[in-house]
Amino acid sequence: MAKIAIAVEGVTVRFGDSVALRQVSLSIEPGELLLLLGPSGCGKSTLLRSLAGFVSPDEGRVLFDGADVTRVPPHQRQIGMVFQSFALFPHLSVGENVAFGLREQRRPTSEIQERVERALSDVKMGGFAARRVDQLSGGEQQRVALARALVTRPRCLLLDEPLSNLDAGLRHSMREEIRRVCKEHGLTTLYVTHDQKEALAIADRIAVMKAGRLEQLGSPWDVYRTPRSRSVATFLGETNLLEASITAKDGQTLRVRAGSLELSAEARPGFDVGQNVLLSIRPECVQLSQTRPHGAAFQVTSVKSSYLGEICEHELSCAGLALRAYELNPQSPNAPSAGSELWAQVRPSDVVLLETEPTA
């Protein structure tokens, strides 16, 4: 099976007066699984449809393995696609659904049968070829849709919200199945989703979009731990955002002040003393204790605690600032009562500096 890298160069797409994509550029390495993440209307599905050939860019180029395919029709791009709706033919059997693309290519009957059996086996649906589609569960139908995309031996695989119609349990198992299949076949894959956990769980890299622009591209670890903007920090997981100013610098550590709260943060390029900034602090990075711990700490007041099983979510107040803290694997059923005084710590590496920007 051929491998291919995908390159998007300055792609802009307009629908009338609306701009769906604004000068988007990115590349996908051969065999890489890239998750395209963002809220509804951010342009991620438009970008995927541009790669598929269903949308023609007004500006920019799309390249597959170095070849410009911007004006190449979809059926000549050798892509596999899996849609949110599965798009299976209800009047055809499982095997006939999977074989559809091969029959369109006029492959020999013996080759079609062999490749259909292999594709169904790859998605753990061997023995289901004669089954009717309406006799399958949602997860089984998704596997059939994936087999149909794989059977034509595509150069790349495009997945558009493939798990959004499945329940939580099936989404968890199917996302791992999709990653397994993509990696076993060495497929260059672009996977569109709005589900943050899905993206973090299976991506090699994540591209976060907002309002038609690419906000950040990096590994799941980098994008989650070091967001570059307010929109990335707030969309990918939960975070505390505090308006602050940088008051001092000591080597690779900056002192920041949010109201009367003083914290230390690791220095980042482009940030210096006197600058107004936003602080992003993930709730799981706020460590609480009943007694004053060693090292730098500050006092907080408990406002409310909610036991959620694997975590206890604490709403806190600190010098007029609202904070949230997640206590992982809580060891006591007795959460702090409202008004209780606690001590909190945040490591400098967990205080992420962001540039101030409009909230809209």
Span 104-133, pLDDT tens digits: 888 888 999 899 998 898 888 888 998 988
CA of residue 325 relative to chain centroid, distance: 23
pLDDT of residue 124: 86
Q: Which residue has the tokens 């198992």?
A: 173
Domain shared by 56 and 205, yes or no: yes
What residue numbers bound the domain in which 26 lies? 6-227
Flag whether 160 is in a domain. yes
Flag whether 232 is in a domain. no
Domain shared by 73 and 218, yes or no: yes
- Compute the distance between CA of residue 212 and CA of residue 227 in angstroms, rounded to an integer: 18
Mark which of 227, 260, 286 sits at the end of a domain. 227
Domain shared by 177 and 293, yes or no: no
Q: Give the other-Cβ count within 10 Å of 10's Cβ.
A: 13
Flag whether 166 is in a domain. yes
Residue 31, phi-psi category: left (phi > 0), alpha (psi -120 to 50), beta (remainder): left
Task: Look up the CATH number of the domain holding residue 144.
Answer: 3.40.50.300
Task: Look up the CATH number of the domain holding residue 344.
Answer: 2.40.50.100
pLDDT of residue 4: 59
Flag whether 233 is in a domain. no
Angle between helices 94-104 and 138-151 (to 10 degrees): 20
Amino acid letter, residue 166 = L
Flag whether 272 is in a domain. yes
- Contact indicator for 280, 227 with CB cutoff of 8 Å: yes
pLDDT of residue 171: 81
Of 203, 183, 204, the closest CA to residue 193 belongs to 203
39 CB-side CA count, 13 A: 9
Domain shared by 254 and 127, yes or no: no
pLDDT of residue 2: 41
pLDDT of residue 358: 60
Amino acid letter, residue 286 = V
Burial group, residue 139, by CB count within 10 angstroms (0-12, 13-18, 19+)? middle
Domain shared by 195 and 305, yes or no: no
Domain shared by 33 and 173, yes or no: yes
pLDDT of residue 359: 52
Of 223, 245, 248, 244, the closest CA to residue 234 belongs to 223
Domain shared by 246 and 325, yes or no: yes
Question: Count of domains in the chain?
Answer: 2
With a cut of 70, list the residues of the chain below it in pLDDT: 1-4, 358-360
Q: What is the pTM of this model?
A: 0.86
Domain shared by 135 and 38, yes or no: yes
Mark which of 196, 227, 258 sits at the end of a domain. 227
Domain shared by 49 and 198, yes or no: yes
Flag whether 360 is in a domain. no
pLDDT of residue 1: 40
pLDDT of residue 325: 96
Domain shared by 157 and 256, yes or no: no
